[in-house]
Amino acid sequence: MWDAPVVQRLDGDRLHLQHGPIDVVLRAWGAASAVREAYEAAIARFGGILPELAGELAELRRPMSERPHVETSVARRMVNACRPHAGIFVTPMAAVAGAVADELMETMVEAAPLDRAFVNDGGDIAIHLTEGETMEVAVAADFSRGAIPALNGRITLRDTDGIGGIATSGAQGRSFSLGIADSVTILARDAASADVAATLVANAVDVDDPAVTRRAARDLDPDSDLGDLMVTTGVGPLTPARIAEALEAGRARAEQFRRRGLIRDAALALKGEMVTLGQFRSLREMKP
């Protein structure tokens, strides 16, 4: 079904792991022996993740309202991250990339004492910081000038922030979206929680406008967990008022999630405009 997992050493002491659709880049800092042990543990765990997920795929594609039942570790992370959102249509697949990142991060930090580390699964990132450590994260969210997002700025995460995950979703991303956001970036306690929240906030950035084109997800991918739901296929020119309306709808959902303790911060971008919460507010003034 799939080729064997690919393991590559990259510049900057990074490790690249690829297996089917899972594509991860990670890095750890600490004593050389600890980093080596952490990498060996990540490699050993990585090969089993895709077969485990494939074995539970039918359950993972079920809406949370149907209470999907799963047994393997990454699948449980996905379900647990989505459970607080069961009142909104969502399937555990909304948290898959973040859950994989969290699983590999936990594997590494249990294997060896690390100062800091990140696991980046296609832009959904698990972060580990010990006391006194920081990590600078670049935020690229502006698609107003083309298909490749421009760098909006950088934020510095500290160990005291309680942030273990960052994720981005939107209509410009690799997965289907019900909304029109160029991007929504979320900071949360772990990557799986950030992943599902980014999906749901991005879905909420929306307006009913002739400039927005949609098709049933099933028409684009017969295997999509979104079924007959209409997903965004294009967003034409929008008036400033429409852009503001869509961003406000998404901001309201993000603020609700933050009040419930599900996320820490959010940055929402559409057509060159951005709204933010909390720590992300400075992005509007930051320079690359």
Domain of 74, CATH number, reads 3.10.520.10
Q: What is the pLDDT of residue 286?
A: 40
pLDDT, residue 87, reads 87
> Helices 73-82 and 32-55 meet at what angle, rounded to 10?
80
Report the 10 Å Cβ neighbour count for 110.
Answer: 10
User: Scanning the structure block, which residue is given the tokens 């017969």?
Assistant: 222
Same domain, 30 and 48: yes
pLDDT beneath 50, residues of the chain: 147-148, 150, 282-288
Q: What is the pLDDT of residue 60?
A: 96
Residue 105: its H or E element: helix 96-111
User: Are both 172 and 255 inside the same structural domain?
Assistant: yes
Last residue of a domain, which of 102, 130, 158? 130
Task: Please give the model's pTM, rounded to 2 decimal places.
Answer: 0.90
What is the domain count for the chain?
2
For 254, the domain range is: 132-288
pLDDT of residue 288: 35
Say yes or no: 77 and 169 in one domain.
no
| Domain's final residue, options 72, 105, 130 | 130
Residue ending a domain, choose from 74, 109, 130: 130
206 and 110, same structural domain?
no
pLDDT value at position 240?
94
pLDDT of residue 79: 97
